[in-house]
Homo-oligomer: A and B are copies of this chain.
Amino acid sequence: MSFLAHIVTCNTYRAENFRPLRLGATRIGWVRHDNAALLQLFPAVFAVSERDVALIAGGGFDALSTAVDGVIEALVAEGRIDKWRHEDFAVAPRWGQPPLFKLDRGAVGFFGIRSYGVHLNGIRRDADALKLWVGRRAGDKKVAPNKLDNMVAGGIGYGHGLVETLIKEAGEEAALPPALTAHAVPVGALTYRMANTAGMREDVLFVFDLDIPADFTPRNTDGEIAEFHLMPVRDIVARVRDSDDFKFNVNLVIIDFALRNGLITPDEPDYLAIVTGLRQPFD
């Protein structure tokens, strides 16, 4: 492994294997060619051409959401979409704009809808070393079971704000009180496009840093994190470099933390590829 290998792992999307999903003139997703072929079975909802897939169901937010839900139901029944996650994500032209419709999280990959998440670095500035609280994901998680994770992380669901999501997830995953989480500092965002079995993951990770008091020990309340460990950042960075112990996209968050804190330095041969690779431009 290497720092750069983790970035490569998260950026396996190749344009030639996908075609744009459009609503009117707006591109809203990326559909893998074999998935596009499946959508030809739903001509009242999607118009599929060699060039693109158009969502033509018509109507506003509710009508579009219902129409797409119907297609998802059929695709789940046929095993082409893994399962309902019973959690809605918003589909918008871009970050901060009103959503056009919503769809189940389980279908985000099939349609290549951009998703947004929050990741929190829980920092301890102890006298002996700079440390981070690291969680180990539960064994029954659908994505990346047993992998190491940030202290807090989660997707931003439809209708939920960014800071609201951070505070909610921090409470559920680590029992962080809202008054403490409110001091988290937004320190940037990471982006990647990853081809996966479902289709692709076009993901934005909003990163926050939070100093955790020495007398606070995280405690999971929702069953998603099996255990927490307080680890020196130098050990974490070495483990990211040398292993796949961390969840695929959490490696990016740790690498970014290391870069911002001088723990990966310009004498690293891949430095520029790492720095530029963490934030792939979207169109």
Mark A residues whose CB is within 8 Å of B. 94-96, 162, 185-189, 191, 204, 206, 259-262, 265-267, 269, 271-272, 275-282
User: Which of A96, A188, A204, A282 has most chain B Cβ within 10 Å?
Assistant: A188
- Closest approach, in angstroms, between the C-beta of A32 and any C-beta of chain B? 24
Q: Is the interface of A mostly helix, strand, loop or mixed?
A: mixed
Q: How far is the CA of A186 from the CA of B264 in the complex (A)?
A: 8
Report yes or no: A272 in contact with B204, Cβ–Cβ below 8 A: yes
Report yes or no: A266 in contact with B162, Cβ–Cβ below 8 A: yes
- Closest approach, in angstroms, between the C-beta of A169 and any C-beta of chain B? 15
A94-B272, A95-B271, A269-B96 known; A187+B259 contact, CB < 8 A? yes
- Closest approach, in angstroms, between the C-beta of A229 and any C-beta of chain B? 26
Report yes or no: A261 in contact with B204, Cβ–Cβ below 8 A: no
Q: How far is the CA of A263 from the CA of B279 in the complex (A)?
A: 19
Q: How far is the CA of A265 from the CA of B163 in the complex (A)?
A: 11
CB < 8 Å neighbour of A189 from B95, B191, B275: B275
- Closest approach, in angstroms, between the C-beta of A115 and any C-beta of chain B? 13
Report yes or no: B96 in contact with A259, Cβ–Cβ below 8 A: no
Q: How far is the CA of A281 from the CA of B192 in the complex (A)?
A: 13
Closest 7 pairs (CB-CB, A-B): A185-B262, A276-B281, A276-B279, A189-B275, A186-B262, A188-B259, A186-B265
